[in-house]
Amino acid sequence: MNNIEKMAEDDYLVLAGPFLDNGEIRGIYIFNVETIEEAKKLTETDPLIKSGGLIMELHPWYGSAATQEIGKIHKTIQKIKF
């Protein structure tokens, strides 16, 4: 969680979380970066990816500019800090 919080504080990570089904893909990061290479470097800082416990799959994505406000909104309504 420390790594996720750091990326969010640095305004690179817009959204992160686990998927709750039993599929192969286990979670998602949505980054606010210009290139796949930047996202790859950030993803490689994840301890589970470093250890081989998770494998990254990168895809370019475009979403609403409002998506970048999720972190700010989350901080105002979260109930538990991990």
Identify whether 37 is part of a domain.
yes
pTM, rounded to two decimals:
0.76
Identify whether 56 is part of a domain.
yes
Identify whether 82 is part of a domain.
no
pLDDT exceeds cutoff 60 at 47: yes
Structural domain boundaries, residue 52: 2-77
- Cβ-contact 28, 19 below 8 angstroms: yes
Give the model's confidence band at 24: pLDDT under 50 very low, under 70 low, under 90 confident, else very high: confident
Tens digits of per-residue pLDDT, 49-66? 999 988 899 999 888 888
How many angstroms separate the CA atoms of 64 and 78, rounded?
22
* Residue 82 pLDDT: 54
Q: 49 is written with which tokens?
A: 């990816």
What total of structural domains would you count in the chain? 1
Length of the chain: 82
69-72 long-range contacts (CB < 8 A, ≥24 apart) are 70/14, 70/15, 71/8, 71/11, 71/13, 71/14, 71/15
Identify whether 18 is part of a domain.
yes
> The CATH number of the domain where 31 resides is what?
3.30.70
